[in-house]
Chain A
Amino acid sequence: MKLTDHLKEEESLYIYSSYLRLLKQSLKELKKEDKEEVIQEVESHIYESVKELEGTTTESERLAIAFEKLGDVSEMISPIVADKTMEYASRSMHPVRLLMAFANNSGNRFRQFALLSMFSLFQLLSLLVIGLCIAKFFDPTVGLHIGDGGVFVLGTVDEDSAAKEILGYWIIPISAGMAFGCYWLAHSFLRFMKN
């Protein structure tokens, strides 16, 4: 049973639907089941609070008092969203979940920027090495070349260059391993932050 089934006044229903919209908006980053659980618990709290004041004033006023006692929606929901997004990210390797966790768990703008930069760097590195794997299929000259004086070049070199490609098709599993390594670093960094 929902709270709306218990509200009798039209004004109360209107006030509550506005509150519910705000609540749902604050919870939009959560998974459906978590979102529903939080809403159900808040509904249960408001119901108890309104019920306790029964007979004192109108239903809409009791509802307003319940909201006031509950406090700011954002203050109540932000820590829950931060914890949940961090929980999702530490369980999965999904890049969007990782980004959301970073965004929700950074104390200030500077820290948020620093964390996102570091995460983006790991992601960029992992994309670059994945790109290298794909390029190898289209152009066999792509690889790790060693030139005169021990200079390493990753990619392609001129045909007349004396540089020698040293990895061959091994570049594919090595790059894939490096991509996974970069991703793992981003993930470990997140777990470190959580702890």
Chain B
Amino acid sequence: MKGGPEEDFIYKWQSQVKKGLLEYIILLTLRKKTYYGYELIQDIKQLTLLEVAEGTIYPLLNRLKSEGLLDSKWVEMEAGIPRKYYSITAKGKKQVEQMKDFWTGLNARILKLV
């Protein structure tokens, strides 16, 4: 993806925006149902067209969990390896609403500049 200085700048900017939004996207996605890590990143990639290394999601899930925004539990599978399912907590739902308000406001202000 890297080319000249201009493409390089855009690439870095896009990468920062993606990383910055990922926590918000995770919380938004988990509002609908519980997910295990692999399933969550596949859905996020499909829904948002974000191209991120799949491993990026685990430090974020770990952080959101330690902040009390997510909960997790291991579920044994009939065949295969147990899956760790994540769900959003009441605190997480509250936080995501605040994030949504901020994001909507910011987006509206940016659109005025465009």
Contact = CB atoms under 8 A, between A and B. Distances in A.
Contacts of A69: 53-54
B58 A42 contact: yes
Contacts of A2: 81
A43 B81 CA distance: 8
A70 interface: yes
Contact of B56 (A41, A49, A71, A73): A71
Interface stretch (A76-84, A156-164, A182-190): A76-84
A78 B53 CA distance: 14
Interface string B33-52: 00011110000000000000
A23 to B, nearest CB: 11
B58 A80 contact: yes
B23 to A, nearest CB: 12
Contact of B53 (A48, A49, A71, A80): A71
Given A43-B81, A49-B38, A70 B53 contact: yes
A45 B55 CA distance: 9
Interface in A36-62: 37-38, 40-45, 47-49, 51
Contacts of A78: 59
B62 interface: yes
B66 interface: yes
Contact of A44 (B38, B53, B63): B38
Interface in A67-118: 69-73, 75-76, 78-80, 83-84, 87
A3 interface: yes
B82 A40 contact: yes
Interface string A1-30: 111001000000000000000000000000
B84 A40 contact: yes
Contact of B55 (A1, A48, A76): A76
Contacts of A76: 53, 55-56, 58-59
Contact of A87 (B37, B66, B84): B66
Contacts of A37: 84
Contacts of A87: 66
A76 B74 CA distance: 20
Contacts of A84: 62
B65 to A, nearest CB: 10
B93 interface: no
A115 to B, nearest CB: 21
B18 interface: no
A2 B39 CA distance: 19
10 closest A-B pairs by beta carbon, nearest first, are: A71-B53, A76-B55, A79-B59, A48-B38, A71-B55, A47-B81, A70-B55, A44-B81, A45-B38, A70-B54
19 contacts: A1-B81, A1-B82, A40-B82, A42-B58, A44-B36, A44-B37, A47-B81, A48-B83, A49-B54, A69-B53, A70-B55, A71-B56, A72-B53, A73-B55, A75-B53, A76-B56, A79-B63, A83-B63, A83-B66
